Amino acid sequence: MVIKEHCGVVGVWSRDGEAPMIAYRALKLLQHRGQESAGISYLDGEIRTVKGMGLVEEAIDPALLGRSGLAIGHVRYSTTGMGTIDEAQPLSNGAISVAFNGTIPNYYMYGTKTDTEFILKVLSKSGDVRLGLKRLVELADGAYSIVILTTRGELIGFRDPRGFRPLVLGRVGSSYVIASEDSAIRQLGGNDIRDVRPGEVVYIDKYGNVESEVLAQPQGVTTCSFEYIYFARADSVIDGISVYRARVRLGEILAERHYVDADIVVPIPGSSIPIAIGYSRRSRTPLEFALTRTEMARRSFIMPTQEGREIVLVEKFGVVGEAVRGKRVVLIDDSIVRGNTMKHVIRLLRNSGAREIHVRVGSPMIRYPCYMGMDFPRSQELIAHNRTNREIAAEVGADSVEYLTVEEMIEAIGRRDLCHACFTGIYPLKYPQYSLRLGSMLRGWRV
Ligand code: SF4
Q: How many helices (H) and strands (E) does the chain have?
A: 15, 23
d(CA 318, CA 445): 54
Residue range 143-179, pLDDT digits in tens: 999 999 999 999 999 999 999 999 999 999 999 999 9
* From 7, 224, 370, 419, the catalytic residue: 7
In one-letter notation, the amino acid at residue 199 is G
What kind of architecture, by CATH, is found in domain 8-222? 4-Layer Sandwich (3.60)
CATH architecture, domain defined by 242-414: 3-Layer(aba) Sandwich (3.40)
Ligand 1 proximity of 224 Cβ (cutoff 6 Å): yes
Chain segment 372-422, per-residue pLDDT in tens: 888 788 888 999 999 999 999 999 999 999 999 999 999 999 999 999 999
Ligand 1 center–CA 272 separation, angstroms: 18
- 38/418 Cα distance (integer angstroms): 29
Give the separation between CA 331 and CA 324, rounded to whole angstroms: 11
Mean pLDDT of the chain: 91
pLDDT number for residue 3: 53
- Is the CB of residue 363 below 6 angstroms from any atom belonging to ligand 1? no
Query: Rounded to 5 degrees, what angle do the CA atoms 118, 120, 124 make?
Result: 120
What gap in Å lies between CA 12 and CA 305, rounded to an integer? 39
Query: Which residues on adjacent β-strands are paired with residue 158?
Result: 146, 201
Per domain, the residue ranges of the chain are 8-222, 242-414
Contact criterion met (CB below 8 Å) for 263 and 257:
no
**Cα 348 to ligand 1 centroid, rounded to whole Å:** 30
Question: Which among 162, 165, 334, 422 is the best mutation to test ligand 1's pocket, defined by most ligand atoms within 8 Å of the CB?
Answer: 422
How many alpha carbons fall within 13 Å on the CB side of residue 239? 22
Comparing C-alpha atoms, which of 114, 211, 189, 44 is closest to residue 439? 114
More confident residue, 296 or 283: 283
The yes-or-no verdict on residue 304 having pLDDT over 80 is no
Helices (H), 60-101: none
User: Facing residues of 203 across strands?
Assistant: 156, 211
β-pairing, 400-403 with 356-361?
Answer: parallel
Between CA 242 and CA 245 the distance in angstroms is 5
Q: Classify the C-alpha dihedral 141-145-149-154 as positive or negative.
A: positive
Nearest CA to ligand 1 atom 2: 422
Q: Which of 1, 160, 226 to mutate to test the pocket of ligand 1 (most atoms within 8 A of CB)?
A: 226
Q: Is 421 near ligand 1, meaning CB less than 6 Å away?
A: yes
CA of 447 to the centre of ligand 1 (A): 27
Atom of ligand 1 nearest to the CA of 164: 5
Per-residue pLDDT tens over the stretch 4-49: 557 999 999 999 999 999 999 999 999 999 988 999 999 999 999 9
Residues 6+ apart with CB under 8 A from 95: 47, 124, 150, 151
Length of the chain: 447
- Beta bridge partners of residue 242, listed in sequence order: 237
d(CA 365, CA 389): 9
Distance 227 CA to ligand 1 centre (A): 9
Q: Could you read off the pLDDT of 242-286 as tens digits, one per residue?
A: 999 999 999 999 999 999 999 999 999 999 999 999 999 999 999
Is residue 7 part of the annotated active site? The answer reads yes
Give the per-residue pLDDT at 438. 46
Q: 235 CA distance to ligand 1 centroid (A)?
A: 21
